[in-house]
Amino acid sequence: MNAYADITIKRWNYNIVNGDQLEVRVLVDIFVKVTESKQIEIVTAINSDEVEVEEELLRVEEVIGEDTVTETITVEISPPDVKPNIERILQADGQLFLPVCTVEEGGVLVQGLIVAGVLYVADTPEGDQPVHFFEDVDEFENFVSIPGAEEGMFCYGNIDIKEVRSSLVDNRTVELSVILTKFVKVTNFKQLTIVTDIIGVTPRDDRDKSEDTSKREYTVKAGDTLYKIAQRFGTTIDAIIEENNIVNPDYLEVGQRLIIPKSMIDNPRG
């Protein structure tokens, strides 16, 4: 399935617990939506003056376009001044924070933060702490082209760090190459008018005159009511109740067979 999340920090505050610790409290507003794509066949109109139809509005999500791209972001980071020089890198890693996508004309703007960390062996005299760690934050901003995208449309984004490569520029600088994979999809909501039922049929004048049209049988289907059946055949609810000795007009069974009396309406709508 497809997941979409919109995460917003509403407010935050902190308390000093002791000389070297902070207690941070954050109020986060999280909206999540899980969807499943389905293809269904619908009837949007019936062009005939012989039937009357029942219609409903259907809200659907139209996919404008989607794409997956891989991009490499190169950043240089250095340890704080209080940290010793770097002799060699043991490990480098990165994490994404607050990735968001915004639909613009012709595509999607992807923005976020990369928190990069480096574990290294220090270039220090023997006896000093040999292994140190530092991290830095860097912003990134990329544009993914989606033909047909316009401002005001909706965007689903899935941004991941695929790989982090590191190299030592000098004893105070590390170059990181962060490989990102970005999947973005642009959608737009639209309303369709769909036909859900046929509730009235105009009697045809060209039917076989020898056919007995005073009565006919009808098998009840799911969703049927006496009102819909009466409208469909141009008769009345009371006529159907009387013809079939119906005790409870509000209850019909699927598969129940009804005798429909002759049309009581000369010119039903349609």
pTM of this prediction exceeds 0.75: no
Q: State the pLDDT at residue 127.
A: 60
Q: State the pLDDT at residue 213.
A: 54
Range from 37-51, 89-103, 180-194 carrying the lowest mean pLDDT: 37-51
- Convert the pLDDT of each residue in 215-228 to its tens digit: 788 888 888 888 88
The per-residue b/e assignment along 81-106, b for 16 or more CB within 10 angstroms, e otherwise, is: eeebebeeeeebebeeeebebebeee
Q: State the pLDDT at residue 218.
A: 87
**Closest listed residue to residue 92, CA positions, set 153, 168, 2:** 168
- Would the pLDDT of 59 be above 90? no
Task: Determine the Cα–Cα distance for residues 35 and 4; give it in Å rounded to an integer.
Answer: 8
Question: Domain locations in the chain?
Answer: 54-191, 211-270
- Would the pLDDT of 203 be above 90? no
Assign 20 to helix, strand or coil: coil
- In this structure, whether the domain defined by 211-270 belongs to CATH 3.10.350.10 is answered with yes
Q: State the pLDDT at residue 89.
A: 93
Q: Which two tokens mark 189?
A: 């909501």
Assign 209 to helix, strand or coil: coil
Contact 234, 263 (CB under 8 A): yes
Contact 119, 91 (CB under 8 A): yes
How far is CA 104 from its chain centroid? 18
- Would the pLDDT of 53 be above 50? yes
Proportion of the chain above pLDDT 70, given as a percent: 89
Contact 201, 46 (CB under 8 A): no
Range from 29-38, 123-132, 166-175 carrying the lowest mean pLDDT: 123-132
Q: State the pLDDT at residue 200.
A: 62
Q: Which two tokens mark 149?
A: 């995208």
Q: State the pLDDT at residue 202.
A: 57
Task: Determine the Cα–Cα distance for residues 130 and 128; give it in Å rounded to an integer.
Answer: 6
Q: State the pLDDT at residue 186.
A: 93
- Convert the pLDDT of each residue in 69-91 to its tens digit: 998 989 899 999 988 999 999 99
Q: Which residue blocks in 172-263 are alpha helix, DSSP H?
A: 226-233, 237-244
